[in-house]
Amino acid sequence: MREALLAELLKVRRSLMPWLTAGTFTFVAAVCAIFMFILADPARARALGLLGDKAQLSGAAADWPGYLALLAQATGVGGLIIFGTVVTWLFGREFSDRTAKDLLALPTSRGAVVAAKFAVAAGWAVLLALWTAVLGLLAGIPLDLPGASSAVVAGGVARIVVTALLTLVLTTPFALAASAGRGYLPAVGAMFAAMFSAQVIAALGYGAFFPYSVPGLYAGIAGPGHDPPGPLGHLLVLAVGVAGVAATTIWWKRADHDR
């Protein structure tokens, strides 16, 4: 496992993937901060040209709890795409670049290769979530929002990280799609299908029982009046994650690698 992990880290280090994903989350944090800046004083934002004359903002409170919840929601929605892209890249590139065949008959087992890829994806997702939280906190200081306390900040950061973890767990089936589909496209398709279904099913009111809607609802995307998903929702997320890892590992070990 150690050898496979070091090999994966070398590939990641030399790629654009860390920069692109960190850049995207930096952008996400910046957009959340700008949104709060506008929400805190809409008249000032109108004067600066950041808000249209007739635009009305609603659904978020211009305070620290609201700001941290917004960051968590952005992590949930953006995370599915970004973490999904990371997982898709880690697995799909081996087939698009035809390098998978060089990983199949080695002293390092295929299971170790798959585990190393998931470990790198998980580690990077946690770092990205922490990066988003730290950037958000730093960007929030000059906004001078009300409601700051160590409990609010700790709770907000924890919510961002847990949302990221829930989202990350849901990306494991994309690894299977990229592997069995032998490239990026099937995984990208699966990712968009999951995202679209999450939106529709959450809008219909059944999001607490649909795994891909759970991270967003946990982050508070439905608004303050809605309950977060219960244990069943979280259990379903875990089930999807475990099934994704198991199916991907079995596929790498057992499938006919004939391309």
Site residues (vs another protein, CB under 8 A): 3-4, 6-7, 10-11, 14-15, 97-99, 101-109, 254, 256-258
What minimum distance in Å lies between the beta carbon of 96 and another protein? Answer: 10
Instruction: Pick the closer one to another protein by CB: 210 or 252.
Output: 252
Instruction: Pick the closer one to another protein by CB: 95 or 218.
Output: 95
Torsion (CA) 78, 81, 82, 84 in degrees, nearest 10: 140
Instruction: Pick the closer one to another protein by CB: 107 or 225.
Output: 107
CA distance linking residue 127 with residue 217, whole number of Å: 22
Cβ burial, residue 156 (10 Å; 0-12/13-18/19+): buried
Q: Are 241 and 172 in contact (CB under 8 A)?
A: yes
Instruction: Pick the closer one to another protein by CB: 46 or 182.
Output: 182
What minimum distance in Å lies between the beta carbon of 16 and another protein? Answer: 8
Distances (CA, A) of 207 to 72, 78, 84, 179, 236: 17, 18, 20, 28, 11
What minimum distance in Å lies between the beta carbon of 12 and another protein? Answer: 10
What minimum distance in Å lies between the beta carbon of 187 and another protein? Answer: 19
What minimum distance in Å lies between the beta carbon of 107 and another protein? Answer: 4
Determine how many CB atoms are found less than 10 A away from the CB of residue 106: 12
Instruction: Pick the closer one to another protein by CB: 54 or 254.
Output: 254
Spatial CA neighbour of 106 closest among 202, 229, 7, 243:
7
Q: Are 5 and 113 in contact (CB under 8 A)?
A: no
